[in-house]
């Protein structure tokens, strides 16, 4: 069949009209999507002039990178990457002899994890800026980052846990950070058929002591029904003794969860009174179960990490500690359970629900007192939905996940499927605004949004898909966050910024709180590292069997010693390098050819050790990797490696001290 001439003309004309119409209608719209303000206006709001500083620190979880990305807000500038559960060749974390133990677990040294959530330490329900806690999802762990140094100082493995997703949410005075199991398991572990899921699999909710650095510990675990525990949030104000955990798969499916775990109308939020559990634990209720889990601590003064394996854990059950756990029925596989700043409302994000249900803490207390129970599961009372419901936000959009608050009476919920943020009013439950995200927002974050005092100025959306938002980079595209201005009635999109790894959740805090406690360098006088070398005359080499210890110092712009001879093939050479600087922002680096691990970055006043096993004879260069000074490039040296059994004596030159002693001597005459 052929197109007639007339039809051809018609089609041509129509397509021209369509193109022009499309151009007029869509060109401006596509450049400025709904919720976007004028580019210049937005630019001025995120512009932090050279030399000026951001108002907030934002800590974005690095997801599968096992790290935390630290950004300034509102600029979105990346300030630092803090490795927690991942080896970091950039500074030797997890490679240096001092930091290797940080990654120790009962499974061995695990150099990676999936870091999902962050929790800033709190005092009286407010962020205090001391520490950042983060979770490892895959091999259950909780890490603590010291915000004076931005270094990981402590990691505690969580026993009896599979998939530490509902973690590390924190109580309002940092009493406990928590860990709950995404995957239920045979607890304790056992060789059982997977089909025995319903009878053999359990979940645990762990409370980890968090208030004393270096002393994190699983205070007690509560054994709970074998569901998938997802996210959690501590109460605050009137509800501060409670913790709320979402769960899904109350169907207890163990295969094809996609379908089989989405059948029930309602799943549960577990409302747990941790004060009551604490009292039970203190009273010796429950049982001490044998366990094996690592506790890794970086000592403040040696700056050497050590691992202790803990051998038991206190396990409580709902029966051994009655009145400590209740189930709140909540529509359709809830994700977030978020408590508003007053502590009264618990907002659930039912991923597959058509409403956002909000529970009332006061009503929960009344329902418990009135025994308004629908039923009980494994001895856990299930409260009546209608008795505890404060209200429902109707038609919020598709896939409500997670909610934060601005402290001005509004809540902001992320909607994964419809890819937007919806703003609604607490109490009236009416939707007042919505803004699209690009694309598929997971969590969102408002600085202080998890505390009693949110700063309702900005909102950060963490997106799962970026498609056409950035220059393409092959099959994997930039991970991204978006910054919204929420100071006015309408949310305004200000900025897209790429992130490290896939951020699942984040916290942000007023910069002044963290700036105030910054450490500029480690005091060399306080350096208690067993191999610390505090002056150049103390440097040298020694051999014990096949191990050669090099005690070395680094100061602008030389190593001492910078030539070493007498090392033999197959020796284990340990370079213990002390950075003698006592000045801010003067790390030295150390690298040697053929090292199979990484480099070292040594902070001023600190000692770090790199292991090197030369495999062949020759002379190998070593050098400083951190551009420390004008003569950084001269900061280098050699190690001569001789055959096994060689008669070359072990020796090292030490750079002649421009020492005070020599000077003092001169002045005396």
Q: Using CB under 5 A as the criterion, which residues of the chain lie in contact with Cu ion when the complex forms? A: 588, 624, 628, 635
- Least Å distance, CB 556 to Cu ion, is 6
Residue 72, both tokens = 């300034």
Residue 481 phi, psi dihedral angles, 5° rounding: -125, 160
Q: Which does 635 bind (CB under 5 to 8 A by kind): another protein, Cu ion, none?
A: Cu ion
Q: Does 664 bind another protein (CB under 8 A)?
A: yes
Residue 441 phi, psi dihedral angles, 5° rounding: -65, 140
- Least Å distance, CB 582 to Cu ion, is 15
- Least Å distance, CB 527 to Cu ion, is 18
Q: For another protein, give the closer residue by CB, 2 or 658.
A: 658
For 613, other C-beta atoms within 10 Å of its C-beta total 14
Q: Which does 371 bind (CB under 5 to 8 A by kind): another protein, Cu ion, none?
A: none
Q: Does 581 bind another protein (CB under 8 A)?
A: yes
Residue 203, both tokens = 């979940």
For 255, other C-beta atoms within 10 Å of its C-beta total 11
Residue 391, both tokens = 């209200």
| Residue 567 DSSP symbol | E
- Least Å distance, CB 580 to another protein, is 9
Give the C-alpha separation, 512 to 60, whole Å.
Answer: 18
Give the C-alpha separation, 643 to 596, whole Å.
Answer: 20
- Least Å distance, CB 444 to Cu ion, is 42
Angle, CA of 442, 448 and 454, to the nearest 5°:
110
Q: For another protein, give the closer residue by CB, 370 or 585.
A: 585
Residue 563 phi, psi dihedral angles, 5° rounding: -135, 130
> By rule CB under 8 A, what count of residues binds another protein?
18
Q: Which CA distances in Å does 401 have to 253, 448, 450?
A: 22, 19, 15
Site stretch for another protein (CB under 8 A), options 41-49, 88-96, 264-272, 661-669: 661-669
Q: Does 526 bind another protein (CB under 8 A)?
A: no
Give the C-alpha separation, 317 to 94, whole Å.
Answer: 37
Q: For another protein, give the closer residue by CB, 471 or 664.
A: 664
Specify whether the backbone of 406 is left (phi greater than 0), alpha (psi in -120 to 50) or beta.
alpha
Q: For another protein, give the closer residue by CB, 78 or 655.
A: 655
- Least Å distance, CB 655 to another protein, is 10
Q: For Cu ion, give the closer residue by CB, 508 or 600.
A: 600
Q: Does 49 bind another protein (CB under 8 A)?
A: no
Q: Does 659 bind another protein (CB under 8 A)?
A: yes
Q: Does 342 bind another protein (CB under 8 A)?
A: no
Q: For another protein, give the closer residue by CB, 36 or 582.
A: 582
Q: DSSP letter string over 578-633?
A: EE---STT--EEEEETT-SS--EEE-TT-EEEEEE---S-EEEEEE--S--STTGG
Spatial CB neighbours of 503, under 8 Å, sequence gap ≥ 6: 60, 61, 62, 63, 69, 442, 443, 462, 479, 481
Q: For another protein, give the closer residue by CB, 582 or 593.
A: 582
x/- letters, 606..635, toward another protein (CB under 8 A): ------------------------xx--x-
Q: For another protein, give the closer residue by CB, 474 or 667.
A: 667
Q: Does 53 bind another protein (CB under 8 A)?
A: no
For 417-447, b/e burial (b = at least 16 CB within 10 A) is ebbbbbbbebeebebebbbbbbbbbbbbbbb
Give the SS3 label for residue 296. strand
Residue 333 phi, psi dihedral angles, 5° rounding: 50, 65
Q: For Cu ion, give the closer residue by CB, 272 or 624.
A: 624
Q: For Cu ion, give the closer residue by CB, 573 or 635.
A: 635
Q: Which does 581 bind (CB under 5 to 8 A by kind): Cu ion, another protein, none?
A: another protein
Q: For Cu ion, give the closer residue by CB, 332 or 588.
A: 588
Q: Which does 628 bind (CB under 5 to 8 A by kind): Cu ion, another protein, none?
A: Cu ion
- Least Å distance, CB 623 to Cu ion, is 9
Site stretch for another protein (CB under 8 A), options 259-267, 551-559, 591-599, 636-644: 551-559
Residue 628, both tokens = 């420390």
Q: For another protein, give the closer residue by CB, 31 or 666.
A: 666
Q: Does 636 bind another protein (CB under 8 A)?
A: no
Query: Contact with another protein (CB under 8 A): which of 555, 573, 602, 622?
Result: 555
Query: Contact with another protein (CB under 8 A): which of 252, 582, 597, 636?
Result: 582
- Least Å distance, CB 60 to Cu ion, is 31
Q: Which does 624 bind (CB under 5 to 8 A by kind): another protein, Cu ion, none?
A: Cu ion
Site stretch for another protein (CB under 8 A), options 4-12, 228-236, 240-248, 554-562: 554-562
Q: Does 583 bind another protein (CB under 8 A)?
A: yes
Q: Which does 555 bind (CB under 5 to 8 A by kind): another protein, Cu ion, none?
A: another protein
Question: What's the first-to-final CA gap in the chain, in angstroms?
Answer: 113
- Least Å distance, CB 603 to Cu ion, is 12
Give the C-alpha separation, 15 to 343, whole Å.
Answer: 59
Spatial CB neighbours of 227, under 8 Å, sequence gap ≥ 6: 184, 203, 247, 248, 249, 250, 252, 267, 268
Picking from 348, 484, 349, the residue whose alpha carbon sits closest to that of residue 417 is 349
Q: For Cu ion, give the closer residue by CB, 46 or 628.
A: 628
Q: For Cu ion, give the closer residue by CB, 150 or 623.
A: 623
Site stretch for another protein (CB under 8 A), options 164-172, 180-188, 198-206, 577-585: 577-585
For 328-360, b/e burial (b = at least 16 CB within 10 A) is bbbbbbbbbbbbbbbbbbbbbbbbbbebbbbbb
Q: Does 668 bind another protein (CB under 8 A)?
A: yes
* H-helix or E-strand spanning residue 546: none
Q: For Cu ion, give the closer residue by CB, 356 or 624.
A: 624
For 272-292, b/e burial (b = at least 16 CB within 10 A) is bbbebbbebbeeebbeeeebe
CB-count exposure of residue 175 (10 Å: 0-12, 13-18, 19+): buried
Q: Which does 6 bind (CB under 5 to 8 A by kind): another protein, Cu ion, none?
A: none
- Least Å distance, CB 56 to another protein, is 23
- Least Å distance, CB 81 to another protein, is 24
Residue 260, both tokens = 């089989």
- Least Å distance, CB 535 to another protein, is 12
- Least Å distance, CB 21 to another protein, is 58
- Least Å distance, CB 635 to Cu ion, is 4
| Residue 561 DSSP symbol | S
Query: Contact with another protein (CB under 8 A): which of 275, 490, 549, 556?
Result: 556
Give the C-alpha separation, 554 to 95, whole Å.
Answer: 19
- Least Å distance, CB 30 to Cu ion, is 51
Please give the residue ranges that form the binding site for another protein (CB under 8 A).
555-557, 581-584, 630-631, 634, 658-660, 663-664, 666-668
């Amino acid at each position: 069949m052929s197109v007639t001439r007339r039809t051809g003309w018609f089609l041509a004309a129509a397509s021209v009209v369509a193109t022009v119409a499309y151009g007029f209608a869509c060109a401006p719209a596509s450049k400025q999507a709904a919720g976007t303000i004028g580019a210049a206006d937005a630019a001025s709001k995120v512009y932090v002039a050279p030399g000026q500083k951001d108002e907030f620190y934002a800590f974005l979880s690095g997801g599968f990178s096992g790290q935390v990305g630290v950004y300034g807000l509102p600029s979105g500038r990346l300030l630092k990457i803090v490795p927690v559960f991942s080896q970091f060749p950039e500074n030797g974390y997890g490679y240096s002899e001092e930091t290797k133990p940080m990654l120790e677990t009962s499974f061995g040294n695990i150099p990676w994890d999936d870091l999902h959530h962050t929790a800033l330490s709190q005092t009286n329900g407010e962020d205090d800026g001391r520490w950042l806690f983060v979770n490892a999802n895959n091999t259950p762990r909780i890490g603590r980052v010291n915000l004076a140094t931005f270094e990981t100082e402590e990691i505690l493995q969580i026993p009896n846990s599979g998939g530490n997703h509902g973690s590390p949410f924190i109580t309002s005075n940092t009493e406990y950070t928590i860990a709950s199991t995404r995957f239920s398991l045979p607890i304790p572990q056992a060789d059982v058929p997977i089909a025995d899921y319903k009878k053999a699999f359990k979940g645990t909710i762990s409370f980890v002591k968090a208030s004393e650095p270096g002393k994190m510990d699983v205070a007690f675990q509560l054994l709970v029904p074998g569901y998938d525990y997802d996210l959690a949030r501590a109460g605050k104000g009137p509800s501060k003794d409670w913790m709320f955990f979402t769960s899904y798969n109350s169907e207890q499916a163990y295969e094809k969860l996609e379908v089989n775990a989405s059948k029930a109308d309602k799943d549960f939020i577990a409302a747990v009174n941790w004060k009551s559990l604490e009292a039970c634990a203190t009273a010796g209720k429950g049982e001490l179960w044998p366990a094996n889990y690592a506790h890794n601590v970086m000592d403040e003064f040696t700056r050497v990490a050590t691992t202790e394996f803990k051998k038991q854990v206190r396990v409580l059950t709902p029966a051994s500690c009655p009145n400590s756990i209740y189930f709140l029925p909540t529509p359709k596989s809830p994700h977030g359970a978020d408590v508003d700043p007053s502590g009264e409302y618990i907002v659930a994000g039912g991923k597959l629900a058509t409403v956002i249900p909000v529970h009332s803490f006061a009503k929960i207390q009344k329902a418990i007192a009135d025994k308004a129970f629908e039923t009980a599961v494994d001895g856990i009372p299930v409260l009546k939905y209608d008795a505890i419901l404060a209200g429902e936000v109707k038609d919020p959009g598709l896939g409500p996940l997670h909610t934060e608050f601005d402290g001005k009476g509004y809540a902001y919920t992320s909607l994964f499927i419809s890819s937007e943020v919806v703003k609604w009013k607490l109490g009236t439950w009416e939707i007042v605004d919505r803004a699209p995200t690009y694309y598929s927002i997971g969590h969102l974050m408002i600085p202080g949004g998890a505390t009693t005092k949110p700063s309702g100025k900005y909102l950060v959306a963490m997106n799962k898909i970026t498609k056409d938002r950035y220059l393409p980079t092959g099959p994997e595209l930039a991970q991204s966050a978006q910054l919204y201005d929420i100071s006015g009635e309408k949310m305004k999109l200000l900025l897209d910024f790429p992130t490290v790894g896939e951020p699942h959740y984040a916290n942000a805090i007023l910069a002044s709180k963290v700036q105030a406690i910054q450490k500029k360098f480690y005091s060399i006088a306080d350096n208690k590292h067993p191999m610390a070398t505090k002056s150049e005359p103390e440097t040298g080499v020694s051999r014990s069997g096949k191990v050669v210890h090099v005690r070395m110092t680094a100061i602008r712009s030389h190593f001492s010693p910078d030539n070493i001879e007498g090392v033999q093939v197959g020796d284990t050479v340990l370079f213990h390098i002390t950075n003698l600087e006592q000045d801010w922002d003067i790390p030295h680096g150390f690298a040697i050819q053929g090292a199979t691990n990484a480099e070292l970055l040594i902070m001023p006043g600190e000692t770090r050790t790199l292991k090197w096993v030369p495999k062949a004879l020759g002379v190998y260069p070593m050098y400083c990797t951190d551009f420390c000074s004008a003569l950084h490039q001269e900061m280098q040296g050699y190690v001569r490696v001789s055959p096994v059994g060689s008669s070359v004596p072990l020796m090292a030159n030490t750079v002649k001290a421009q020492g005070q002693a020599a000077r003092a001597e001169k002045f005396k005459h």
